Amino acid sequence: MERRGWLSRQNQYSHSDRVSLHDIVSDVAEELAPLAMAAGVKLITDIRVQQSLEVMGNEQQLYRLLTNLVTNGIQYTAADGKVNLTLDRYQQEALIAIQDTGIGIAPMQQTRIFDRFYRVNSDRSRITGGFGLGLPIAAAIAQAHQGSIHLQSQPGKGTTFTIRLPLKRR
């Protein structure tokens, strides 16, 4: 990541809170349900852990991180498709997966989509008309929380973004 002026300022001035990932995941699913419905896409939440998962960080930013990825999942999936939002835990990390059955991303583009203003030149992205900022912002937020975003995709089949965030130590 080259520059992240806005984000590093956010981190500088905002203190770190305990943030519940269960709350964020359910809030994001609730907020984006109308968008999914309008697109004819089924948005399914799957919380695979009973205990609460907490990370230290900024709730608004983490909310935005998830919103950006789930919005993409909905926007780049045709009607009758699905977006699965999964919350799980592996050792000392929370895993949040956003899996869609959408248009997918070709291998050549998979590294570039995290660049600012980069958009794959497809019919679908022309329709949605975004700025190409959702993913760079998401990546910067994950990094600011010592986490990462990993992507797996097959053109025509779908895409899975996996966010890993270190859990708050007990």
CA dihedral sign, ordered 153, 111, 28, 48: positive
Question: Which position among 58, 72, 101, 153 is part of the footprint of Mg ion (CB under 5 A)?
Answer: 72
* Residue 44 contact partner, candidates ligand ATP, Mg ion, none, CB within 5 to 8 A by sort of partner: none
CA dihedral sign, ordered 125, 126, 127, 128: positive
Q: How far apart are CB 14 and ligand ATP at their closest, in Å? A: 22
Please list, in sequence order, all residues whose beta carbon lies within 8 angstroms of the beta carbon of residue 78, skipping any fewer than 6 positions away.
102, 103, 124
Question: Which is nearest to 94 in space by CA: 45, 42, 142, 26?
Answer: 142
Residues in contact with ligand ATP by the rule CB under 6 A? 68, 72-73, 76, 100, 102-105, 113, 118-120, 125, 130-135, 159
Q: Using N-to-C axis directions, what is the helix angle for 59-75 and 21-39, rounded to 10°? A: 30
For Mg ion, which is the closer residue by CB, 20 or 160? 160
Contact status: 77 vs Mg ion (CB under 5 A)? no
For ligand ATP, which is the closer residue by CB, 24 or 76? 76
For Mg ion, which is the closer residue by CB, 111 or 146? 111
Kindly list the residues in this chain that would bind Mg ion in the complex (CB under 5 A).
72, 130, 134
